[in-house]
Amino acid sequence: MTTIDIDAIHKALANPMRREILVWLREPRKYFADQEFPLERGVCAGQIDERCGLSQSTVSAHLAALQRAGLITSKRVGQWAFFKRNEPVIEAFLKHMNADL
């Protein structure tokens, strides 16, 4: 069973940009087709920065909040950070919401 932090997830999802990032990461080929690295690794932070149109530090804070909530995972490859949705946590959260609310 996947452990989830309901409060951290709600806090992360309270921001519309974070919800948008999750939408983009659900379909990386649609939103990040021009990434030079294989999308199987995840989406490079720089690509997310570009798409958001916000400062790098603001986007980093959004990604950190999503990661703290367990909604995304990151992997460092050299100087690059790649992000993916954490589907088991998202599924567990949705199941919890459907069952308990």
Task: Read off the pLDDT band of 2 (50, 70, 90).
Answer: confident
* Stretch 39-66: mean pLDDT: 95
Residue 100: predicted pLDDT: 78
pTM: 0.93
Options 3.40.1190.20, 3.40.50.1820, 1.10.10.10, 3.40.50.2000; CATH for 6-100 is 1.10.10.10
* Stretch 19-39: mean pLDDT: 96
Residue 3: predicted pLDDT: 82
Domain ranges for the chain, please list them.
Answer: 6-100
Mean pLDDT of the chain: 94
Residue 1: predicted pLDDT: 66
Q: Which residue has the higher pLDDT, 101 or 90?
A: 90
Burial class (CB in 10 A: 0-12, 13-18, 19+), 74: middle
Q: Which of 34, 9, 31, 11 is nearest to 86 (CA)?
A: 9
